[in-house]
Amino acid sequence: MSDGVPVGVLLHRVDADECELVALVVERPREGIATALVRALVEHLRSTGCVRAWLVTTNDNIGAQSFYEALGWTLAAVHRGAVVRARELKPEIPALGENGVAIEDEIEYELDVSRITRGWPGPRRSE
């Protein structure tokens, strides 16, 4: 919050010992807001015994890919053509991303929450 006004939101869904990070939106990028929200989520998941967090982004979202990788999330899968198939049900999904890259694939990242050490975020993990 900044002067009582929300500056970001993180939505997640927990299923047993796994958590999907569904959406992360910040009002002012590159100010640490997104990192703080992800850190709070991971700390919450650690306290509840959740062992894995995961998320899906699209192939054109290079900023998100870099962000999550910098925080230690690892590439779990590439679902080739997933957005192309989704567009059959939701034709409003754009064909091109903001950077002119064709939006075609979903990229799944995961984080082994059980291995996160205090002082996270970052690629530091306990041994």
Are 123 and 67 in contact by the 8 Å Cβ rule? The answer is: no
User: Any idea where the domains of the chain sit in the sequence?
Assistant: 8-111
What pLDDT, in 10s, does the model give residues 65-106? 999 999 999 999 999 999 999 999 999 999 999 889 999 999
Mean pLDDT of 112-122: 73
Res. 117: pLDDT tops 90 = no
3-state SS, the chain, equals: CECCECCEEEEEEEECCEEEEEEEEECCCCCCHHHHHHHHHHHHHHHHCCCEEEEEEECCCHHHHHHHHHCCCEEEEEECCHHHHHHHHCCCCCCECCCCCECCCEEEEEEEHHHECCCCCCCCECC
Radius of gyration of the chain (CA): 16
* Amino acid identity, position 41: L
Q: pTM of the full predicted structure?
A: 0.85
Fold designation for 8-111: Aminopeptidase (3.40.630)
Give the per-residue pLDDT at 119. Answer: 58
